Chains A and B, each alone.
Chain A
Amino acid sequence: MIKLPAPDSEGLQARYPAVFDRPVSARLAMPAMLLGAFGIFAFGLVHLGFSPARMLSGLHQLGWITLMMIPPDPGSSLPLYLKALGETLSIALLGTTIAAVFALPVSLLAARNIVPSNIFRFPVRRFLDSIRGVDTLIWALVWINVVGLGPFAGVLAIAVSDFGAFGKLFSEAIEAADRKQVEGIRASGGNALHEIRFGLMPQVLPVIAGQVLYFIESNTRSATIIGIVGAGGIGLQLAEQIRVLEWQKVSFLILMILVAVAVIDWISSKLRFAIIGRRAVA
């Protein structure tokens, strides 16, 4: 057996003072941050009315609710639910498409390699940011005031809030595009529109298509909830059934949503692989 030499701790300490003699502030930073984080956490628990008694009775209640959810049963309203689910999928598809169509030209204005001037780009970017800062549900509330209750308000809500997100994502894709192909078009005598059409678009369209597909997927999720404020789709049925405590119908609706989202996930990931290839997705 080989005997290891005893570590020369004094020599090590002398050689690496930065490791052994860290300043007090650096040593205290981490515990102080953790303490601060847990301080806010504790304050939050008290302020937001958490108490063990409430927690226990709530969990008890939740247990009952879960028991009453079994087995999931649509009752006699299955056709109604299927129609609502179709509505939800339609809202997601249409909303995303409209958003993508309108966001493409705006994203060109927000991209650095197309509009080099900060003065023009800055307001466009801030405008897109403020659209994104407002949640889809809030947009749904606004559109209900305009076009009335129903799925159309949902389409417009998804379209507006995605418009903000797409504007940002597309402009980032455009900024990441390779400059050389654009220069090639210019060298062969193309004008600015030619540069965008033949130099940029072939590079960014697959990326954009992938993002649009991903958003259709994630909007299926958003579209399930905008019904809660009255903008159509399966969320409306879900909120109603929860309010009247029809738990079997609630669990059936939740299952429907889960299955629909899984199917859309599967289709869109297949399509994304087909469009941009396996490597670009990961």
Chain B
Amino acid sequence: MTVAVTILPSQQLAALNEAYRKAVARKRLRITLGAAVFSAAVIVASVGAEVNLRTFFTYFGNFVSYFDRIFTLENGSRVWTDIGEWFWGWRKWSLYLGETMLISYVGTLFGAILAFALNFFAAENTSPKPWLRFVVKRFMEFCRTVPGIVFALIFVIAFGLGPMAGVLAIAIHSTGALGKQYSEIVENIDMKTVEGVRSTGASWLACMRFAVLPQVAAGFASYSLLRFEINVREASVMGFVGAGGIGQELIVAVRKFYYSDVSAILLMIVVTVFAIDIGTGWVRGRLFGRDRRA
């Protein structure tokens, strides 16, 4: 089969070519301008961040040799030749990791309960009063914009050193983040059920309980599990400021140059995070089907 390609008369072609060239030129100009602004911003930023490529290249060897050092035992052999010596403190570290997970769990649950209580006031379709919605939304914004570790720093002073400060910091941050996600789910529900329940004369509370909650419960649970996963990572560094968990051990090992300990603790953290990732992924898959895992 042959297909004939008709070639337009040259006059018409010239006009079309001209238009095409103009469009491309405009696009090129825009991209060049954007790239120029971006490069200028990057240059300004590198001055601001004291980027010094000479330092970087001089010390880059340190980065590689740092990994060399953390995988070397004190007697000079590679860590994997003597697993027992490498993970000499595994009992203690597992306990701290357990504490980290517990901090994350309790903090997430606290945050989820608070977010659950607040989100119906923040969603556009269920909020009883506009001013209430505004206040609750701003509050949740504040909770999630201030980084968790800043809350932890302040709570360590108010509540004393220990995991309690970490739990509360994670709880506050989770309240903000989950509250936003929850209220977005609520905003996407089908309002017909709510109208149905309202038409029977139900109160606002009953509407939430019998019309909204059944539609959103699965989504809420899914987001909470995801948040738990994120919080495990967050809780692993809470110890840096004295708020409990494995971070305490890690920062001591880094600061005192216990090289092989650093790699052992890091490896345990990474494995735990992987296990939790896979575990929560599996639970979410089981509970809500594969489509919600994304």
Residues of A within 8 A of B (CB): 37, 40-41, 43-45, 47-50, 54-55, 58-59, 61-62, 65, 86-87, 89-91, 93-94, 97, 129-130, 133-135, 137-138, 141-143, 145-148, 150-152, 154-156, 221-222, 224-225, 228-229, 232, 235, 238-239, 242, 245, 250, 254, 257-258, 261-262
Please provide the 10 A-B residue pairs with the shortest distance between their CB atoms, ordered closest to farther: A90-B48, A58-B159, A90-B45, A44-B106, A90-B49, A133-B270, A61-B158, A133-B273, A48-B163, A151-B49
Contact in complex: A97, B153 (CB < 8 Å): no
Chain A interface: which of B11-19, B51-59, B76-84, B114-122? B51-59
Report the minimal beta-carbon distance from B113 to chain A, rounded to whole angstroms: 10
Contact in complex: A41, B157 (CB < 8 Å): no
A258: which B residues are within 8 A, CB to CB?
142, 145-146
Contact in complex: B106, A58 (CB < 8 Å): no
Given A93-B42, A152-B49, A257-B145, the answer on whether A133 and B164 have CB atoms closer than 8 Å is no
Contact in complex: B154, A228 (CB < 8 Å): no
Q: Of the candidates B44, B51, B142, B160, which one forms a contact with A155 in the assembled complex, judged by CB atoms under 8 Å apart? A: B51
Contact in complex: B49, A242 (CB < 8 Å): no
A221: which B residues are within 8 A, CB to CB?
145, 147
Given A152-B55, A221-B147, the answer on whether A134 and B266 have CB atoms closer than 8 Å is yes
Contact in complex: B59, A44 (CB < 8 Å): no
**A-B CB contact pairs (8 Å), 27 listed:** A44-B103, A47-B99, A47-B102, A48-B99, A49-B163, A49-B164, A54-B159, A58-B164, A59-B158, A65-B154, A65-B158, A90-B48, A94-B51, A133-B274, A137-B237, A138-B250, A138-B269, A145-B62, A150-B50, A152-B55, A225-B149, A232-B50, A239-B153, A242-B157, A245-B157, A254-B146, A262-B145
A232: which B residues are within 8 A, CB to CB?
49-50
- Assess whether B236 is interfacial by the CB under 8 Å rule: yes
A141: which B residues are within 8 A, CB to CB?
250-251, 254
- Assess whether B71 is interfacial by the CB under 8 Å rule: no
B41: which A residues are within 8 A, CB to CB?
93
Report the minimal beta-carbon distance from B53 to chain A, rounded to whole angstroms: 10
Given contacts A48-B164, A130-B270, A239-B241, 4 further A-B contacts (CB under 8 A): A48-B106, A58-B160, A138-B266, A225-B147
Number of residues from B at the complex interface, CB < 8 A: 56
Contact in complex: B159, A89 (CB < 8 Å): no
Given A41-B105, A62-B158, A93-B42, the answer on whether A154 and B63 have CB atoms closer than 8 Å is no
Contact in complex: A94, B240 (CB < 8 Å): no
Contact in complex: B153, A228 (CB < 8 Å): yes
Report the minimal beta-carbon distance from B61 to chain A, rounded to whole angstroms: 9
Nearest neighbor of B64 in chain A, beta-carbon distance: A146
Please provide the chain B residues from 157 to 207 with a CB less than 8 Å away from any CB of chain A in the complex: 157-160, 162-164, 167
- Give bound CA distance, A14 to B164, whole Å: 54
Given A152-B52, A254-B150, A258-B145, the answer on whether A229 and B66 have CB atoms closer than 8 Å is no
- Assess whether B293 is interfacial by the CB under 8 Å rule: no
A235: which B residues are within 8 A, CB to CB?
150
- Assess whether B46 is interfacial by the CB under 8 Å rule: yes
- Give bound CA distance, A142 to B62, whole Å: 10
B42: which A residues are within 8 A, CB to CB?
93-94, 97
- Give bound CA distance, A258 to B141, whole Å: 9
Contact in complex: A146, B66 (CB < 8 Å): yes
- Give bound CA distance, A155 to B164, whole Å: 31
B105: which A residues are within 8 A, CB to CB?
40-41, 44
Q: Of the candidates A37, A91, A254, A262, which one forms a contact with B49 in the assembled complex, judged by CB atoms under 8 Å apart? A: A91
B241: which A residues are within 8 A, CB to CB?
228, 239
